[in-house]
Structure 1
Amino acid sequence: MLPTTQLALLRRIATEQSTNRAPSLVAGVVRDGELVWSGSRGFLDGTTGETPDDDTQYRLGSITKSLVAAMVLRLRDEGGVDLNDPVGEHVPGTALGDCTVAQLLAHTGGITAESPGSWWERSPGGDWDALAATLTAEQRKHRPGRRFHYSNVGYGVLGELVARHRGTGWLEALRAEVLEPLGMSRTSPHPRGRHAPGWAVHPFADVLLPEPSPDAGAMAPAGQLWSTVRDLARWTAFVGGHTGEVLNPDTVAEMREVIIVEDGPQWTAGYGLGLQLVRAGGRMLAGHTGSMPGFLACNLVDTGTGTGALAMTNTTSGVAILGLVVDLISIVDDYEPKLPEEWRPSAVDPALLPLTGLWHWGPAPFHLRLLPGGWLHLGPVSGNGRASRFQPAGTDEWVGLDGYYAGETLRVVRAADGTPSHLDLATFVFTRTPYDPAAPIPGGVDEDGWRTG
């Protein structure tokens, strides 16, 4: 980062820490998969003495959920879990078993927000059997799939799902399959070494109260983990697509897709598969916020520019943690906008060149373009209408990746001499000329052809 950018970032976190009276606050910026800036303000005890750095642990809270979600998606990609499976097929013994795995990941299962009994975030947690015994029909608050209803309990269930598939605790599986491969050696269920104590700040006086941090037991997958700026930067890079060997980047892109929105048609807050989604200032951001007594945390990535940021503080409330992280991303991209990659020719399969150019869906003209890797892009000439990218799926077959045709198969039908005759896409026939009578247009083409009236 340029000195001017660094000063602007430091000023932003300094203003947040001072104005909103945080004992301490740390932050970082990620670009191209790397931590490129970090900063801190305040003191760990809120007054004097030790200051935090990028290796000081803070509690992540619900960012833990995103890591658990990555484990569930690993199981899906391996074939052990289908996201449409009722969760009861994997974790029997509760009255909530007809909720699907995807619904629990996206908080659309309609189940209670908090575990029954004592406030779980400030109470020692019991084991899975104790939690399962409380998950009766009364804990269903909405019809599954009807609406967004944030559920910490749902992630307790997903943690048990991971544990049963791996034959070990969810945390052991997470450590072996996610944390260690990503180099997140300072992420743990309890503080180790240098860490920030959790504080509550009095709303009307500049005094502090220590907050407890018990083990949440079976609810731990909802918010147990502690981490550092360095480790959370690695996870932020992961959310942005630098996934290493943990997940395929396409799977993480799927996690970032909007499943449900929280605030209506002009939404600013939504949820995907274990990731919160935010629209702010023309940006689409993915990541997660976290809060536990004594701590707030947030990490987000701009899915357009790839710039990410994170922040953690040891206060129960007061710091506008999400807005702070959004501002850090905006500062970086405004002060140091990334230049687009230089265009250069790429190798293509010469056999695909005859497919390119103008095609028609009925009278509507479309362009078919080649993309790197043998992918195709089909979109309307006018720019208004259904456009999708397609990934190779076999000889003369491609599968849609996005837009209206996501998941649909595009087939090239060839004439006897091998030249492309027409395209068949989800029953739609695309021809080189509008309504080509030589093609199998559904419903046929009027034998008198085009006319003036």
Structure 2
Amino acid sequence: MTIAESTEISPSEAVGQEPGAPGAPDECTELLPQTRRALLHRLAVGQAEGRAPSMAGAVVRGGRAVWSGARGSVEGEVPHGDVQYRIGSLTKTFVAVLVLRLRDEGLLRLSDPVGAHLADTPVPDATIAQLLSHSAGLAAEPRGPWWERTAGELRPEPADLFDERPQRHPAGRRHHYSNVGYALLGALVERLRGGLPWGEVLRREVLEPLGMSRTTLRPERPYASGWAVHPWADALLPEPAADTGLMGPAGQLWSTLQDLCRWAAFLLRGDGRVLGAASVAELRTPAVPPESGAWDAGYGLGVQLLRREGRLLVGHHGSMPGFLAALWADVEEDVAAVVLTNCTSGPAAGAVATDLTGIVIAHEPRIPEPWRPLPGPLDPELLALTGPWYWGANPHALRLRAERGLELTPLSGAGRASRFRAEKDGTWTGLDGYYAGETLRVGRDRDGAVSHLDLGTFVFTREPYEPSAPVPGGVDPDGWRV
């Protein structure tokens, strides 16, 4: 990969899809020359201003890598897409996927206290979900020495990671980033996989199915050496690359641009061989969703969240001595960017990655999928539910979507919109917004005809305050007045 060269990963390699399958990229994935120039310029500025020995970046769109570039050198050469860099806390996204796989297999619940699965932990009541979302109140770091620069053999058991005060805050009350919490999650994976090391579980269950053969616990050539850059002189100091042992699940992994493009595509779309789209979307959901839109940073289950210029980005930063990494993805625009650099501090890897996604979106907005009719046959009874409904006097539209799904949209500019998934018992479950997780039921009169919709106790009728429907509190018998 030369500086301006493009490297591509086919959809089937990236996300386990067949070309032409639903959700596969269309023919318009190639970037225009001016877009590629802008991407290279941003990467070059990031490397020069950050004084990084090298910086490599890539963009994923439509499930495949569509651009990559690099500046600086590794071992005297411009780094190519197969050069390993240490990715630090991006490792946490991989560990979270392993935990969700265990959940989907029925081996644990996210609400389980970790003590139900791990003996002798000093925080037995912290739940698995709290560990994943950094809301268990645990200390940010293990007891000394500085773990990123220390051989992990110094702490042979998980309990050895904690000092006399393992929790700094009450569990579930606030977000407090904890590297040591992910050490516990790695031990949890090993316990529920019969003692198999978490790195081996990761290789078998995630990396091999996704074709990520260059993501490893220890560096494998070719790889970049890590450096510290003197703050007041253009001089370098080598950084150690310790095997962090029990702390490995917090930041041990090494990876490449090519592998992380596959990972970005997975975090956007899921892959049935590893984790389905619904569970991946759960990773990307704020662990404690804010009730208003006034937030610019958050955390899901192993995934960081950012709001930038009205866009929601998901991904993670990574930092280890000698390395910085970032992966940020815009789910709505189906664009992601990866940035890797071999420098302890200085380069704004996260800002460069978010800017790379923004450049693609600004220069080449996503072309929407073509409209297609629903696959038949069409259920007449289901079709009869569509159209206008009223919550009190507030008009809404109910539309039929794929797989018997429904979508409720307010027509007055005020109200609550939501999509609904069809269930086997004839009800629907809300997927987003205020009604997420709530049940939509069809109400019928004595003759079996549809009389109303019941949505979490809210009654929707075909006419505003329809007298024949079971409106809570009843309808005034004198009706509407003028």
* TM-score for both structures, normalised by structure 1: 0.95
The one of 171, 174, 180 aligned to 1:147? 174
Which amino acid counterpart does residue 146 of structure 1 have in structure 2? Answer: R
* Helix, strand or coil at the partner of 1:139: coil
**Structure 2: gaps spanning 5 or more residues:** 1-30
Is residue 2:41 matched to residue 1:7? no
Deviation at 1:265, TM superposition (A): 7.2
> In the alignment, which residue of structure 2 is the partner of 1:96?
123
> In the alignment, which residue of structure 1 is the partner of 2:252?
224
Deviation at 1:177, TM superposition (A): 0.8
> In the alignment, which residue of structure 1 is the partner of 2:301?
273
Is residue 2:223 matched to residue 1:195? yes
Which amino acid counterpart does residue 368 of structure 1 have in structure 2? Answer: L
Q: Give me the whole-angstrom Cα distance separating, in 2, the residues matched to 1:337 and 1:439.
A: 46
1:94–1:136 contact (8 Å) kept in structure 2: no
Q: Give me the whole-angstrom Cα distance separating, in 2, the residues matched to 1:194 and 1:261.
A: 42
1:63–1:223 contact (8 Å) kept in structure 2: yes
Is residue 2:146 matched to residue 1:116? no
Which amino acid counterpart does residue 321 of structure 1 have in structure 2? Answer: A
2:137–2:175 contact (8 Å) kept in structure 1: yes
- Per the alignment, do residues 162 and 341 of structure 1 end up closer, same or farther by CA in structure 2, a change over 3 Å counting? same
Q: Give me the whole-angstrom Cα distance separating, in 1, the residues matched to 2:288 and 2:52.
A: 32
Moved more, 437-446 or 33-42: 437-446
Is residue 2:55 matched to residue 1:25? yes
Q: Give me the whole-angstrom Cα distance separating, in 1, the residues matched to 2:384 and 2:347.
A: 58
1:95–1:136 contact (8 Å) kept in structure 2: no
- Per the alignment, do residues 242 and 386 of structure 1 end up closer, same or farther by CA in structure 2, a change over 3 Å counting? same
> In the alignment, which residue of structure 2 is the partner of 1:359?
389
* Helix, strand or coil at the partner of 1:394: coil
Q: Give me the whole-angstrom Cα distance separating, in 1, the residues matched to 2:449 and 2:72.
A: 70
1:290–1:296 contact (8 Å) kept in structure 2: yes
Deviation at 1:87, TM superposition (A): 1.2
Write the deviation string for residues 231-260 of structure 1: whole angstroms up to 9, x where unpaired.
Answer: 000001111114342111111111111225
> In the alignment, which residue of structure 1 is the partner of 2:114?
87
Q: Give me the whole-angstrom Cα distance separating, in 2, the residues matched to 1:295 and 1:133.
A: 27
4+ residue segments displaced more than 4 Å:
none
1:30–1:233 contact (8 Å) kept in structure 2: yes
> In the alignment, which residue of structure 1 is the partner of 2:213?
185
The one of 347, 355, 369 aligned to 1:327? 355
Is residue 2:328 matched to residue 1:300? yes
* Helix, strand or coil at the partner of 2:475: coil
2:182–2:247 contact (8 Å) kept in structure 1: yes
> In the alignment, which residue of structure 1 is the partner of 2:430?
400
> In the alignment, which residue of structure 1 is the partner of 2:82?
55
2:88–2:318 contact (8 Å) kept in structure 1: yes
Write the deviation string for residues 171-223 of structure 1: whole angstroms up to 9, x where unpaired.
Answer: 11111111111110000001112000000010011111110011111100000
The 5 A counterparts of 1:333-352 are 333-347=361-375, 348-352=378-382
1:237–1:243 contact (8 Å) kept in structure 2: no
* Helix, strand or coil at the partner of 2:470: coil
Q: Give me the whole-angstrom Cα distance separating, in 2, the residues matched to 1:320 and 1:94.
A: 37
> In the alignment, which residue of structure 1 is the partner of 2:275?
247
The one of 390, 415, 429 aligned to 2:459? 429
- Per the alignment, do residues 196 and 122 of structure 1 end up closer, same or farther by CA in structure 2, a change over 3 Å counting? same
> In the alignment, which residue of structure 1 is the partner of 2:480?
450
Moved more, 280-289 or 346-355: 346-355
* Helix, strand or coil at the partner of 1:161: helix
2:270–2:280 contact (8 Å) kept in structure 1: no
The 5 A counterparts of 1:349-388 are 349-388=379-418
Alpha-carbon RMSD across the aligned residues, in angstroms, is 1.8
Q: Identity over aligned residues, as a percent?
A: 56
* TM-score for both structures, normalised by structure 2: 0.89
Moved more, 436-445 or 352-361: 436-445
Q: Give me the whole-angstrom Cα distance separating, in 1, the residues matched to 2:435 and 2:295.
A: 24
Which amino acid counterpart does residue 477 of structure 2 have in structure 1? Answer: E
Q: Give me the whole-angstrom Cα distance separating, in 2, the residues matched to 1:240 and 1:257.
A: 12
Which amino acid counterpart does residue 292 of structure 1 have in structure 2? Answer: M
- Per the alignment, do residues 244 and 56 of structure 1 end up closer, same or farther by CA in structure 2, a change over 3 Å counting? farther
Which amino acid counterpart does residue 96 of structure 1 have in structure 2? Answer: V
Which amino acid counterpart does residue 32 of structure 2 have in structure 1? Answer: L
Write the deviation string for residues 267-292 of structure 1: whole angstroms up to 9, x where unpaired.
Answer: 22211110011111221100001000
1:128–1:160 contact (8 Å) kept in structure 2: no
The one of 237, 242, 245 aligned to 1:209? 237
1:289–1:299 contact (8 Å) kept in structure 2: yes
Q: Give me the whole-angstrom Cα distance separating, in 2, the residues matched to 1:310 and 1:439.
A: 55
Q: Give me the whole-angstrom Cα distance separating, in 2, the residues matched to 1:345 and 1:265.
A: 34
Aligned residues: 448
Q: Give me the whole-angstrom Cα distance separating, in 1, the residues matched to 2:432 and 2:351.
A: 30
2:328–2:336 contact (8 Å) kept in structure 1: yes
